C-alpha cells in the first residue's frame, strides 16, 4: 500500500455492500446542481396553488407582493437593495445580458472614432462569460483581454489592473470557480478599481464597471456586494437549494444601462427591464432559498469544513501518493465544499474512474461538460499538467453529506481504480 494501513476501511473483501438507502447512488456533485430545500419546496407548492394569476393583472396584488418579497429576500443575501435585483431565467441569461448591455452602452459613449470598448476577463471563466465575450469580439463589437489563472487557479490582481486601458469598459471575474473551487480576489480587484476610476474621472473618462459571476459562491461563502466592490453580480438558484432560475444584481446608478439595452424584447415585465410574464413559482422559490441561506450559512460552512476534513483525511489515508489534490483544500482561497483531485498514473483518467464507480455520482469538471473525454481547458489554464487534468475528478459535498457517504465514496473510488489498474494500491 502507498499510504498507511487500509485494513480498517477495507475490512471486507471487494466488492463491498452498502446500505439500501444508498443503492441509488451517493451524490457528491453539488457544484453541478442541488436538490430543492424542503422550505423551498413548500413555498413553491403553495405558490402553484395560490399564486398562479398573471402578476401584471390589476387584480393580482397578492402575486405582486409575493414577487416583491422574493426580491427583498434575494437582495438581502448579497447586501443589496431590492430595487437592484432583476429576475432572469438562468445564470447564463444573466451573464450574457450584463456583458452585452455594457458593451452596447460603452460603444454608444465612445463612438467609432475612439475605437472599440474592451472587456478584461480571465481564461478560467464559465462558458456563459468566456464564450459570450469571444462572440462579441468576433462580431467586432469589442476587444477582449484575458488574464491568466495559471497561478494556482487564481488570477493576479496586478495582471487585471495592468490590462486595463482607456478603452476598458468592464472587468468580469468570477467569484469562485465551478470546476476548481478556487475563490478569486474579487474584493481586492474592486478596491483597486475604486482608485483607477477616481483617476479616470479626473481625466474625463467613464468608469470601468465590474461584474462577478457568483453562481458557485452564494450558499457556500459570504457574498456582500459592498465588500466585494462590484457593480453587477450573477445569482443562480439551483446552486444553493433553489429553483433553476437566476437573478442580476445591478448597482442602482447603472440600472439605466440594463433598461436601455434589454437582452429580450417583449412586454414591460420586471419593471421594464426584462420582458416575459414573471415565473412566480420559481421567483418565490429563489427568494425562499436566499432566506434559507441567510439563516443557515454559518452552520453549513461548519458542516462543509467538518465533513470536508473527513473526506480529505480519508483520501490521504487510502490513496497516499496515488492521489494529489489539485488545489489547497480547506484554505481561505477555496470553497469549503469543493475537492478537485487527480489519480496519479496511466489508465486513471477521471471519466474512466467514474465509469467504474458503482455508487459515486461526481464529475470530471464542469457539469455541462460531463461525459466528455476532452481535457478541461479551465484545469489546464489553472496550471495543471495535461495528465493531471485528464485524471481529475471533482467531489463537491452538500449541506447534508454524511460521513457514511464519504466512506462509501472512498471504497467506491478504491475499487474503481483497482478495476482499471488490476492492482491494489
Task: Point out the residues that are catalytic.
Answer: 368
Distance CA 236, CA 231 (A): 17
Helix, strand, or coil here: 358? coil
Question: Which residues are paired to 236 by β-bridges?
Answer: 246
Instruction: Calculate the alpha carbon distances from 400 to 30, 283, 299, 306, 337 in Å.
Output: 10, 24, 11, 12, 11
C-alpha cell, 289: 432559498
Helix, strand, or coil here: 288? helix
Closest of 185, 190, 159, 188 to residue 174, by C-alpha: 185
DSSP string, 192-210: HHHHHHHHHHHTTPPPPEE
On whether the CB atoms of residues 337 and 308 are closer than 8 A, the answer is yes
Distance CA 109, CA 103 (A): 10
Distance CA 150, CA 148 (A): 5
Helix (H) or strand (E) holding 160: helix 157-162
Closest of 337, 377, 401 to residue 127, by C-alpha: 377
Amino acid at each position: 500500500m502507498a499510504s498507511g494501513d487500509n485494513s480498517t476501511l477495507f475490512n471486507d473483501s471487494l466488492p463491498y455492500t452498502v446500505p439500501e438507502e444508498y443503492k441509488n447512488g451517493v451524490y457528491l456533485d453539488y457544484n453541478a446542481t442541488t436538490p430543492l430545500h424542503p422550505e423551498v419546496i413548500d413555498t413553491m407548492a403553495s405558490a402553484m396553488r395560490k399564486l398562479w394569476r398573471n402578476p401584471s393583472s390589476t387584480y393580482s396584488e397578492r402575486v405582486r407582493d409575493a414577487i416583491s418579497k422574493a426580491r427583498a429576500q434575494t437582495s438581502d443575501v448579497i447586501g443589496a437593495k431590492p430595487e437592484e435585483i432583476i429576475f432572469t431565467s438562468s445564470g447564463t441569461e444573466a451573464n450574457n445580458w450584463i456583458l452585452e448591455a455594457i458593451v452596447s452602452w460603452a460603444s454608444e459613449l465612445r463612438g467609432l472614432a475612439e475605437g472599440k470598448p474592451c472587456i478584461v476577463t480571465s481564461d478560467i471563466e464559465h462558458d456563459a462569460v468566456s464564450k459570450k465575450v469571444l462572440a462579441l469580439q468576433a462580431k467586432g463589437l469589442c476587444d477582449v483581454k484575458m488574464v491568466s489563472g495559471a497561478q494556482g487557479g487564481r488570477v493576479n490582481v496586478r495582471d487585471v489592473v495592468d490590462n486595463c486601458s482607456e478603452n476598458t469598459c468592464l472587468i468580469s471575474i468570477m467569484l469562485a470557480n465551478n470546476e476548481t473551487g478556487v475563490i478569486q480576489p474579487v474584493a481586492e480587484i474592486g478596491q483597486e478599481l475604486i482608485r483607477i476610476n477616481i483617476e479616470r474621472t479626473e481625466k474625463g473618462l467613464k468608469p470601468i464597471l465590474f461584474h462577478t459571476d457568483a453562481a458557485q459562491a452564494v450558499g457556500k461563502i459570504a457574498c456582500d456586494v459592498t465588500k466585494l466592490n462590484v457593480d453587477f453580480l450573477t445569482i443562480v438558484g439551483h446552486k444553493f437549494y433553489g429553483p433553476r432560475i437566476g437573478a442580476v444584481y445591478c448597482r442602482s446608478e447603472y440600472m439605466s444601462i440594463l433598461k436601455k439595452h434589454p437582452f429580450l424584447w417583449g412586454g414591460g415585465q420586471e419593471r421594464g427591464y426584462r420582458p416575459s410574464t414573471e415565473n412566480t413559482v420559481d421567483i418565490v422559490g429563489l427568494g425562499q432559498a436566499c432566506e434559507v441561506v441567510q439563516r443557515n450559512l454559518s452552520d453549513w460552512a461548519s458542516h462543509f469544513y467538518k465533513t470536508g476534513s473527513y473526506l480529505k483525511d480519508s483520501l490521504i489515508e487510502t490513496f497516499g501518493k496515488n492521489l494529489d489534490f489539485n488545489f489547497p483544500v480547506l484554505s481561505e482561497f477555496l470553497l469549503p465544499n469543493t475537492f478537485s483531485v487527480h489519480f496519479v498514473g496511466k489508465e486513471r483518467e477521471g471519466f474512466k474512474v467514474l465509469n467504474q464507480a458503482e455508487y459515486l455520482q461526481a464529475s470530471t469538471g464542469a457539469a455541462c461538460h460531463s461525459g466528455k473525454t476532452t481535457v478541461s481547458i479551465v484545469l489546464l489554464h489553472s496550471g495543471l499538467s495535461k495528465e493531471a487534468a485528464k485524471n481529475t475528478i471533482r467531489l463537491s459535498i452538500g449541506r447534508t453529506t454524511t460521513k457514511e457517504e464519504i466512506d462509501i465514496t472512498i471504497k467506491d473510488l478504491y475499487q474503481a481504480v483497482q478495476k482499471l489498474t488490476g492492482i491494489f494500491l
